[in-house]
Amino acid sequence: VLVDRLLASPHYGERMAQHWLDVTRYADSSGFANDYERGNAWRYRDYVVRSFNADKRYDQFVREQIAGDEIDPRNPEMVIAAGFLRMGPWELTSMEVPKIARQRFLDDVSNSVGETFLAHSLQCARCHDHKFDPIPTRDYYSLQAVFATTQLTERDTPFLEVENKQGFEEKKFLELSRDQHLKQLAMLDEVLLRNALRWFKEQKKDDAKWIAAVAAASKTSAKNKFGFSDIFTRARLRLKTQGLPENDYPPKLFGFTPEQYGMERVARKGLERLQWELDRYVPVALSVYDGRTPQMTSITAPFRMPKERMTEGDLEESCILTGGDPFGTGAKVKPGVLSILGAAQKTPIPDTIEGRRKAFAEWVASPENSLTTRAIVNRVWLWHFDQPIAGNPNNFGSTGKKPTHPELLDWLAANFVEKGWSFKDMHRVIMNSEAYRRSATYPDLKKLAEKDPSDTSYAVFKPRRLTAEELRDAMLTATGELNPTLGGIPNRPEINLEAALQPRQVMGTFAAAWTPNPLPSQRHRRSLYALKTRGQPDPQLEVFNAPTPDFSCERREASTVTPQVFSLFNGQNTRSRALALANRAIKETKNDDEAITRLFALVFSRSPRT
């Protein structure tokens, strides 16, 4: 009864989602130097929570994340699910060759699919045949060809009724900041136009063509992507396209004082940043689409799916890249699967623009694919016992640790498929087993150590330490402050003040300092929903081994280091929770003895022993 009650709780999906998002590298920003905001990544996070709560079949869960947009492009849930393919860090800068950035995405998504669903790291086969596992380079690039027509997009996707839209009122504050930036830029544009006339006088040059260009730019109602006229820049561009030498008209930002230059940078870069943040409240999904590879015309504008996606752009020809060099093209390859599994001929992957990922997903999610089933039951076992059956959940290859109980792993995989790929049934099997229900103590620990030196017998149930997020959430639960609302846009809890004020570079400038949500009910949500930026992690979560989302986390570390003590003793968050806990105990009791008893019960979830 207890197991069924826990599995029926909506918070079950949140806990399972935390595990899954560790593997898929979920974050609300794209990482690297620019760390672009991913304003709508939260929709994928909430999709994962809903899937676990609904006990979605795992084979369907796999198909949707690899090819949801191909399976049913009109279903918003499917489009959101394909956001899995966008979870890795990625950026395009003005100094980077688009082909290299494109190849980086293909390498990332190929290896991510391998580690997540097949428990196999494939990147070693990128430059040469795998040194330890039977994965030739041809297989690597055949698998990569599956994604050769997969393009990045922030795709128009209506909000679902089940999606939590609380907090959308914050959009008006972002719009207010945007309007302030626009007003600032309009004022600075007037300064530049006045400075331009001064330039012509100082240089003793004819300003007739400039005046005509300014007049033409002023007459048109067109505005740039940020929503302001930018007449000075457009006038310069008009003269440049007419072939006028650049020394015949004013240079960029001519006559600006250092203060004005700084104001212009802050306003323009602020608009770029806000453009991504505002996507959080717009019905679009961080996703992909099938089509030809488009030309990158902007490094800051969100990607939108082009109308002529099947005809405009380049149709990439997949081939083996010698030494992994994007320009070292070798033999051509067709989309395919791993030949070692003996299903290459049984699983033809179409060479058309659409349908590649759907066919590939069917192969990954096939009950005959032994890697897929063993990989996921090994993860579930890890999530319960804090140790997997096979030691490296992301690497079942020869360099990974061998299973301690291979027969058990095989039985769990077979039972998982027979029971309809149900996570909840798998939990019931594990949690009702003798291994899971064993005591955490043993009458003779010395004798046990002699019999089981590798600690793999499951003779006792080993307690585990709370993860970073569980620790924070447990404190909020004890104080009664935890807001249990499911889903929605990311919240901004309090973090270490020094880290909050640390400059974070975003698109050539600096993001605003971390500003916590104003209301306690907003700040005190589960840690799963906290804004997760790659460039500004929460130090308290980090010191308690919260993984970096740059790499797939197969298993969390559990270190014991001195900074953890300092973080708890000196952290403002801990102090605030301690005060809130004391206030709660005082309010709920009549005297000191009752308050102490209540405090013990709130912290340890049991009555104190006499």
Q: Report d(CA 87, CA 105) in Å as an integer.
A: 11
Q: Which amino acid, one-letter code, is at 540?
A: Q
Side-chain-side CA neighbours of residue 166 (13 Å): 14
* Rounded-to-integer distance, Cα 102 and Cα 476, Å: 43
Q: Where is pLDDT greater, at 297 or 18?
A: 18
Same domain, 112 and 216: no
Tell me what pLDDT residue 529 has. Answer: 98
CA distance 102 to 316: 11
pLDDT at residue 223, as a whole number? 60
Rounded to an integer, what distance in angstroms lies between the CA atom of residue 287 and that of residue 46? 14
Per the structure, the complete domain to which residue 143 belongs is given by 57-158+287-366
Do 258 and 274 sit in the same domain of this protein? yes
Neighbours of 377 (CB within 10 A): 28
Judge if 436 and 485 occupy the same domain.
no
Q: Which of 546, 585, 543 is nearest to 568 (CA)?
A: 543
**Count of the separate structural domains present in the chain:** 4
Polymer length of the chain: 610
pLDDT computed for residue 221 by the predictor: 58
**Is 479 in the same domain as 590?**
yes
Quote the pTM value.
0.90
Quote the pLDDT of residue 189: 94
Residues 476, 482, 484, 487, CA torsion sign = negative
Q: How far is CA 291 from the centre of its chain?
A: 23
Q: Is residue 25 part of a domain?
A: no
134 shares its domain with 197: no
Q: What is the mean pLDDT of residues 446-474?
A: 93
- Residue at 23 is within a domain: no
Question: Is residue 337 situated within a structural domain?
Answer: yes
Residues 6+ apart with CB under 8 A from 559: 545
Q: Is the per-residue pLDDT at 184 higher than 90?
A: yes
Q: How far, in Å, are 493, 499, 511 from residue 506 at the CA level?
A: 21, 16, 6
Domain boundary among 401, 435, 464: 464
Instruction: List the single range of 47-61, 301-315, 409-423, 550-564 with lowest mean pLDDT.
Output: 301-315
DSSP label of 294: P
Condensed to tens digits (0 to 9), the pLDDT of residues 351-368 reads 999 999 999 999 999 999
Question: Looking at the DSSP assignment, which residues form a beta bridge with residue 319?
Answer: 332
Q: Is residue 259 part of a domain?
A: yes
Select from 322, 345, 366 the last residue of a domain.
Answer: 366
pLDDT of residue 6: 97
Which of 490, 385, 386, 492 has the alpha carbon at shortest distance from 28? Answer: 490
**Pair 365, 62: CB distance under 8 Å:** yes
Q: Which bin fits 538, alpha (ψ -120 to 50), beta or left (φ > 0)?
A: beta
In this structure, the answer to whether residues 177 and 264 fall within a common structural domain is yes
In sequence order, the 6+-apart residues with CB closer than 8 A to the CB of 2 are: none
Residue 93: is its pLDDT beyond 80?
A: no
Contact 525, 491 (CB under 8 A): yes
Query: Which of 464, 486, 513 is the C-terminal boundary of a domain?
Result: 464
The encoded tokens of residue 557 equal 């570390």
